[in-house]
Structure 1
């Protein structure tokens, strides 16, 4: 697992960018997902980013296409709409990564909606659940990425 402050940014083949971030409006908190065409991502201070490509848990995800995606949703607070809290990305290498709202608390995953965790182990992701969701962070429903859209 890997803790992430507020957003994970994936640089894709061809220069496009996939961003997964914590978002909030009032009491409503969710995992926002954006796909930006090369050059369209708003400029940020390079010091705001940490390059994780050298960390071993990220290696199976580097340079391989994303072939599927799945999401888990929940109702964050009474009266709020159903929102995404976890996103699983499946890669052509057979590896998967789950990005979810949460943090590490005493060595265990805990729900904290203003930060993210990257989970690389299927069992850990299946065990990570929120009382406000019918699905685990593993995100049981999968959508395949269209073959004409390379997200590697």
Structure 2
């Protein structure tokens, strides 16, 4: 079941709490980036400690569950949708091709390490919109972390883009990536 970002408002943390409970203690064992059909990755995208991803990121867990984070828009609403699938559950098919990036050097230190917590960073994407998540920050038992946020790289640094994702595999970079519509950096 896809949870749209406008359905996850900061004041209603039940959905985030459930996501934390479902993933706490589980370990990421496989990572796939969903890209447009017939494309490869990185295909000109940044791929060093910050990965640019066109459509979605799928984290497959040791338990057999999976979490798919994708950019999601409805009119002026812009945020990250979450699709959590328990072991054996089928979910919505994404319109792109999955590319396995588990063997990318940047993912090595995170695979097989237990998730201890997840934070969301919130923003109001446009006037009149509710507050919704624009970033998810995963903390692991070895004190490492990964952040998946709306954005891209313009060659000078990260910038907000509502229809693309960045996977930030560096704590300092996650702490410095901020957008005007949010009071917190991407790491929450």
**Range of TM-score over shorter length:** 0.7 to 0.9
Aligned match for 2:144, one of 82, 95, 115: 95
State the TM-score, normalizing by the size of structure 2: 0.69
Deviation at 1:93, TM superposition (A): 2.6
Q: What is the rounded CA distance, in whole Å, between the counterparts of 2:156 and 2:112 in structure 1?
A: 30
- Which residue is equivalent to 2:109? 60
- Which residue is equivalent to 1:128? 177
For the residue of structure 2 that corresponds to 1:19, the secondary structure is strand
Gaps of 5+ in 2: 1-49
Q: What is the rounded CA distance, in whole Å, between the counterparts of 1:75 and 1:39 in structure 2?
A: 35
- Which residue is equivalent to 2:91? 42
For the residue of structure 2 that corresponds to 1:57, the secondary structure is helix
Residues 27-80 of structure 1: per-residue CA shift (max 9 Å, x gap): 1011112211123233648x7111111111111111122111111100000111
For the residue of structure 1 that corresponds to 2:67, the secondary structure is strand
Aligned match for 1:32, one of 78, 81, 96: 81
Q: What is the rounded CA distance, in whole Å, between the counterparts of 2:123 and 2:92 in structure 1?
A: 31
- Which residue is equivalent to 1:149? none
Kept in 2: contact 1:30–1:83 (CA 8 A)? yes
State the TM-score, normalizing by the size of structure 1: 0.85
Aligned match for 1:86, one of 123, 135, 146: 135
For the residue of structure 2 that corresponds to 1:125, the secondary structure is helix
Moved over 4 A (4+): none
Aligned match for 2:60, one of 11, 23, 35: 11
Q: What is the rounded CA distance, in whole Å, between the counterparts of 1:103 and 1:23 in structure 2?
A: 15
Aligned CA RMSD, in angstroms, stands at 1.7
Deviation at 1:19, TM superposition (A): 1.1
